Amino acid sequence: MNTMLRSALLMSAASASLLAAPSIAQAQTAGEATVDVGEIVVTGSRIRRDTFSSPQPLAVVSAEAIREQGQVSLGDLLLDQPVINPATNSQNSSGTLFLAGQTRADIRGLGPTRTLVLMDNRRLPFSDASSPAVDLNTIPSLMVERIETIAGGVSAVYGSEAIAGVVNFIMKKEQDGLELDIQGGVTQEGDGEEYRAGFNWGSKFFDDKLNILIGGEVASQDTIMQRDRSFGNPGIRRDTRVTPQPIIPASRANTSPFATFQLIGGALGTARSVTLDARNPTNVVRLSAACSTATVQPDCQDPALFYSGPAYNTLQGKSNRQVIRGYADYKITDTWKAFVDLSYLHGSGYGIFQPAFSSAAGGGTMPVVLRGDNAYLNGAGATAAALRAEWLAAGKTFTQGSTAQVGKFWQEFGGRDVKAEREQVKYTGGIEGKFQTFGRDVSMDSYVQYSEVTGTTISFNVPNVARVQQATDAVLLNGAVVCRDAAARAAGCTPWDLVNGASREAILWTNGVASSDQKLSQTVAGINFATDLFDLPAGPVGVAFGGEYRKEKSQFVQDALSASGALFFNAIGTRQGEYDVREAYAEVRIPLLKDVPFAEELTVEAAGRVSDYSTIGGTDQWRVNVTWAPVKDVRFRATESTAVRAPNIVELFAPQGRNFTTTALDPCDSANFRAATAAQQAARRVTCAAAIPGYNPTTFVSNIGTGRPSLALLQGGNPDLGAEKAHTFQYGVVINPRWVPNLQISADFFKYNITDQVGSIPINTLLGALCYDDASRPIEQNQFCQQIRRDRTGATTGGLQGGIFEVVLVQQNVASVKVEGWDYSVSYGFQTEDLFGKDYGSIAMRVDATWMYQWALQGLPTQAYTQFANTITNATPEWKGNASLRWTYDKFSFTWSTLYFGSMIANQAQQAGVIDPFKTGDYFRHDIRATYRLNDDIRLRAGVVNAFNKKPPQLPETFAGTGTGSSQYDNAGRFFFVGANMEF
């Protein structure tokens, strides 16, 4: 044990590297003279034990590491762990309607809803009614003592949501005096400013019976726009017209901030467009053939148009938060105490969206037409005269029935920016202590916790679709320009001049605001017991058992106008529901052998949990662990478990509503047809021909796809959902060779088999494997093809016969996932005096890596699995690693860390040779951090994140902006930070 303790002290100096799956818990602080290894509750088990006997790989981030990282968001900090995949975070939450400013944890890429987040082994409430999961920004980072992460099924110990694993925040409970901490940072471009300021104050009263701790923090992150990074402005895209599809400069949008008019037809290759020159709106410019099509073409580069992506996309969103927490406990007796834990959060996030738009191809969310008798088209001015000349050249007349589709970014309204505000309160109270029964000490803790989250989301500059259509249909009546619609005139309609620019009154009449209110509450009551039943020759048999009651309630209410679908916004309406669950669990630890030949230790552990949900009924889950150390240097560990996840309120009770996606690929599109296998092509010749009049696989260009209008989805919940089920395995070895003091090596195999996974069918799985790649039956007899709605006449898809205008997706227990790989850790540390005979301080080195060679999704039972490991699509590199080197000497420490992602496939739907480049290439990010202890009370720190200013791989799939590109890579660039910690 002495060797392990010394190793723990050395390795704690490397804890700032945030590495996953260490074989011991690194909860100590570098430089401490003593270490408390008394019995505690280690994440993954409720049996009390010391920190070195965890039966599963356990990653620990210390309080010192949290401060030194330079991150203001705990979620962004955890992203450096190889077991954590990117989810909602600072790089992409700005592109969401309701989650702006949140960060979430996602273990193994299985989703934040399958990663259970705890605080002191107790559940935290969901942070949003639109997408239930825990926002890590609700936790005051300065009050965190350590973060423990276990990747693996632990539902038997903690219950639902723990399929992927657990992130447990162990909070500080006491402090002597005042602690202040401040930190600020900025990118080398002078943007993306971040700051955090926090405090902790604690003291004891009444002969140390009453212990009080109060702390809080304020934090903020500022915006980074894509246009402010050279790699993202104007950006790049793939040339989908050729094989292979090389990367070329981004195309300009074939709509302008002013207006683009589709003068002839709507079919590709026959259209002609003119636009008001964005540089000089008094000019009318005839666009090239590439820019006159219904969708953006790769060589659409007319100077009259503009690059829409960099103009509106963000690489980091804007957010701020204020958190305060109070904790107090009172010693009732020497063995019993009562405690309260109270917290309050106010958080704001800002989503930044492009202005509303209309497509020159027609259709879409807000189709607008210019009619031949429009008063402004026939009015005075050079612009109107030039447009009339083009109108006549196109064979049109100045009558009501002669029309042209209008393509336009409606920048007069401004960006459709979203402000999301949330307040969260959490009240926890309980009693814990020890008592004796049958001569045995029994530890007991009980608690009641109530949490409430309220929030408002306001989306600005959201046009009223009908009013825009009414205002732009302006005619001359009795010598005055008015709106054609008499009812609209009576309601105050002000005509909109599409030719010369809108008046302020027209903008105000057509503009709108969308809002939503949400409220969530969680009530939890639990009681836990732990004791040693009796002694075996190898040690005491430990048990833990207890029960928990939990009730979840959620309500989401959209304003009436938005819910009606009248605005340029997702119509969701009202969603509400509740459920409760009663659970009981038991856990036992049996030491079979100890200190005998070939068994320095042999221990078996088992846990089981039964639950009764008001929605899905009864569930059960179990876990078995075996630990065997044949010699002191080697310890084997194995875990097998089952887990469940009950469907949440959104999945159960969400009403069906309209949503949109830009990721859908039409299998019948000529480019996607070329990229398909021979078997897929054979099927599509039959199925696509049945769905699309006159289908030609070499010429059909769909209305959806990269750079084209979004696809409408009809989505919603399902109250008949059942539980997700998982069967997980972990087998590993830990090596601590006595002949190399302080060297630790661990390797752990993991495997997840998840069935009945809740979710809508992946859109491209539905379009491809389940419909158009299945020619075994006519499409009218294929239930999945019936969910794909094509316009055979082209009336709603801009004249494109066979275009897709809507896909129906609802929540179902349909999917299965298989995940498999290995976690590796190597750590080594030494005192330079031991090696060189002179004290130059201590050196600590560590490498952690995850090799996840399988992450496969089965969209439906009996369907083939699609491999997403090593793809940008799922942001899952096959290899992810983190290495660190830390030197500590006297009052100074210096850390160099490297984050590594292996090369990933750009698009798993394509094949090498079809797109070029096909892979991202290996990616390394280097960070430098230093700390200096000025005196016993003041520590200074500084660092450079992404010291070499490493840019994302130069592929369109990796940096297209928040919400559309992968948030795996750092988009901000070189980032400098400084901070100070003071104690009084």
Distance, CA of 62 to CA of 43 (rounded, Å): 14
Torsion angle of C-alpha atoms 78, 81, 85, 88, degrees rounded to 10: 10
Do the bridges between strand 106-107 and strand 357-358 make them parallel or antiparallel, or are there none, so unpaired?
Answer: unpaired
Which residue stretches of 208-337 are H helix? 308-312
Which residues on neighbouring strands pair with residue 626, listed in sequence order?
604, 638
Distance, CA of 269 to CA of 288 (rounded, Å): 11
Number of Cα atoms under 13 Å in the Cβ half of residue 799: 19
Distance, CA of 602 to CA of 592 (rounded, Å): 5
Q: Which two tokens stand for residue 320?
A: 């701020």
Distance, CA of 901 to CA of 921 (rounded, Å): 9
b/e sequence 827-850, b meaning 16+ C-beta within 10 Å: bbbbbeeeeeeeeebbbbbbbbbb
pLDDT of residue 211: 98
User: Pick from 648, 657, 457: which is nearest to 573 by CA?
Assistant: 657
Is residue 147 within 8 Å of 167, Cβ to Cβ?
yes
- 75 secondary structure, DSSP code: H
Q: Which two tokens stand for residue 835?
A: 């090696």
Distance, CA of 464 to CA of 366 (rounded, Å): 9
Query: Which SS3 state, helix, strand or coil, does residue 290 take?
Result: helix
From residue 891, give the alpha-carbon distance in Å to each of 182, 842, 938.
Answer: 20, 12, 11
From residue 487, give the alpha-carbon distance in Å to each of 472, 491, 504.
Answer: 15, 6, 21
Distance, CA of 966 to CA of 955 (rounded, Å): 10
Is residue 166 within 8 Å of 149, Cβ to Cβ?
yes
Cα angle 128, 133, 135; round to 5: 75
Main-chain dihedrals φ then ψ at residue 648, nearest 5 degrees: -90, 180
Q: Where are the beta strands (DSSP E) in 760-802?
A: 788-791
Is residue 159 within 8 Å of 456, Cβ to Cβ?
no
* Cβ neighbours for 807, distance < 8 A, ≥ 6 positions apart: 664, 711, 712, 713, 714, 763, 766, 767, 787, 788, 789
Residue with tokens 């979840």: 552
**Mean pLDDT of each 10-residue bin along the chain, 984 residues long:** 33 32 30 36 63 68 90 89 88 78 91 94 91 91 93 86 93 95 97 96 96 97 92 87 88 89 67 83 86 83 89 89 97 96 95 87 83 97 94 94 93 92 97 93 96 95 97 96 97 96 96 95 97 94 96 95 91 90 96 95 95 95 96 94 93 80 91 93 96 94 85 85 95 93 93 91 86 93 91 86 90 91 94 89 95 91 84 84 96 96 80 82 96 95 97 82 62 96 94
Is residue 788 within 8 Å of 667, Cβ to Cβ?
no
Is residue 479 within 8 Å of 414, Cβ to Cβ?
no
Q: Which two tokens stand for residue 923?
A: 């990616």
Distance, CA of 506 to CA of 504 (rounded, Å): 5
Residue type, 141: S
Residue type, 738: R
* Cβ neighbours for 671, distance < 8 A, ≥ 6 positions apart: 240, 241, 243, 245, 701, 705
Distance, CA of 368 to CA of 370 (rounded, Å): 7
- 770 secondary structure, DSSP code: I
Which residue stretches of 457-517 are H helix? 465-472, 486-490, 504-510
Q: Which two tokens stand for residue 293?
A: 């099509």
Q: Taking phi first (over 0 means left), then psi (-120 to 50 degrees means alpha), and beta for anything else, what does residue 120 get?
A: left
Q: Taking phi first (over 0 means left), then psi (-120 to 50 degrees means alpha), and beta for anything else, what does residue 918 get?
A: alpha
* CA dihedral for 789, 794, 798, 799, sign (positive or negative): positive
- In this structure, the number of other CB atoms found within 10 A of the CB of residue 475 comes to 18
Distance, CA of 795 to CA of 800 (rounded, Å): 8
Number of Cα atoms under 13 Å in the Cβ half of residue 22: 33
pLDDT of residue 572: 83
Residue with tokens 């008046």: 503
- Asked if the bond preceding 591 is cis, omega within 30° of 0, the reply is no
H/E element holding 733? strand 724-735
Distance, CA of 283 to CA of 276 (rounded, Å): 6
3-state secondary structure 112-156: HHHEEEEECCEECCCCCCCCCCCCHHHCCHHHEEEEEEEECCCHH
Distance, CA of 560 to CA of 557 (rounded, Å): 9
Main-chain dihedrals φ then ψ at residue 767, nearest 5 degrees: -65, -40
Q: Provide the terminal-to-terminal Cα distance of the chain, rounded to the nearest Å.
A: 35
H/E element holding 830? strand 812-831
On the 0-12 / 13-18 / 19+ scale of CB atoms within 10 A, 250 is: buried
Is residue 245 within 8 Å of 238, Cβ to Cβ?
yes
Q: Taking phi first (over 0 means left), then psi (-120 to 50 degrees means alpha), and beta for anything else, what does residue 436 get?
A: beta
* CA dihedral for 129, 130, 132, 138, sign (positive or negative): negative
Distance, CA of 292 to CA of 300 (rounded, Å): 9
3-state secondary structure 443-460: EEEEEEEEEEEEEEEEEC
Number of Cα atoms under 13 Å in the Cβ half of residue 563: 12
Is residue 752 within 8 Å of 724, Cβ to Cβ?
no
H/E element holding 637? strand 634-645
Is residue 691 within 8 Å of 802, Cβ to Cβ?
yes
Q: Which two tokens stand for residue 608?
A: 């089981």
Distance, CA of 689 to CA of 695 (rounded, Å): 5
C-alpha Rg value of the chain to the nearest Å: 31
Residue type, 632: K
Residue with tokens 């496969």: 856
